[in-house]
Amino acid sequence: MVCCGIRAPWEPRGPLTDRWYNGLVAQSTGTPGFGKSQSVKRTLAELGVAIIALVILFLVARFALGCAAESLATQLPLSVDEQIGKAGAEQLRSKYDLGRRPTDEQIKRVDRIFNELRAALTDEDAEILKNPRVTVVADPQVNAFALPGGEVFVLTGLLERVGDDDDLVRGVLAHELGHAVKRHGIRGLARKTAFFAVVAMLVGDVDGMVVLLAEGASQLDGLSHSRSMETEADLFGVDLLKRAGHDPDGLARFLESLDSAPVPELLSTHPDPRERAAAIRELAKAGGG
């Protein structure tokens, strides 16, 4: 017995009954062929799963290539850091040269603090950074960054932000020198150009990789470092400040000042300021590692 197009569970159904039943469903839903509709839905679902799998595979491959490129970059001779740093410095000076100039007082202040820290570098650090130097740029952004090879750029917006507190400037410079010594700049550039960098290194084309990295050198002022790199630079900064005879708390206080009044330019490349400030104080208590 069939009532309202629903077959009783005990009632057999043959080909004719099936055709009649599907016809009723088609009339009531406006869809010609309920079975085909279900098949389409299954196909779409399978397609969706396949697309998600491809996206995941792409992300995993991209991450793996990035890690491989970063690892290979550390095998490059230190002279490459100098080449990339020089190319980056030229490009960045042109980028920031808008007719403004830092004051003599700002330049002398940063030079004095930087030279204190430079004198505290270990022999091993000095082997990596053959000629560390600092450049002050007249720009309102609150930012500082290190280039491969050891040149550190300090923007006057940062100096105006910290006022007369030299410990804050000292903390920032120590941290940036950490990025340079640990070769974070060249590793970050290699990660950004992962596929081409890996291919160049695997075929032994070091010159090709240098050209590739140099082309991205103008982006070094906005290069975002990983959490592990920031931690590594913080640890280096704490050690360097202690060797120079200064309190590492200056770096922690600078980071806290960013957290209390966020500065987009610097936070984009130096995340989690309050968390890092707490970690820096713990490192200082533990003797810097």
User: Which residues are identified as catalytic?
Assistant: 176
Distance CA 208, CA 190 (A): 12
> From the centroid of its chain, how far is CA 54?
24
CB 251 within 8 A of CB 234: yes
Nearest to 248 by CA among 80, 102, 120, 73: 120
Distance CA 198, CA 204 (A): 10
CB 121 within 8 A of CB 132: yes
Q: Is the dihedral of CA 90, 96, 101, 103 positive or negative?
A: negative
The amino acid present at 148, given as its one-letter code, is P
Distance CA 190, CA 74 (A): 10
Ramachandran angles phi, psi of 132, nearest 5°: -65, 140
Q: Helices in the chain by DSSP H: which ranges?
A: 15-29, 34-73, 78-96, 104-119, 123-128, 156-162, 166-181, 184-192, 194-202, 206-215, 227-243, 249-260, 264-267, 273-285
Distance CA 81, CA 227 (A): 22
DSSP 240: H
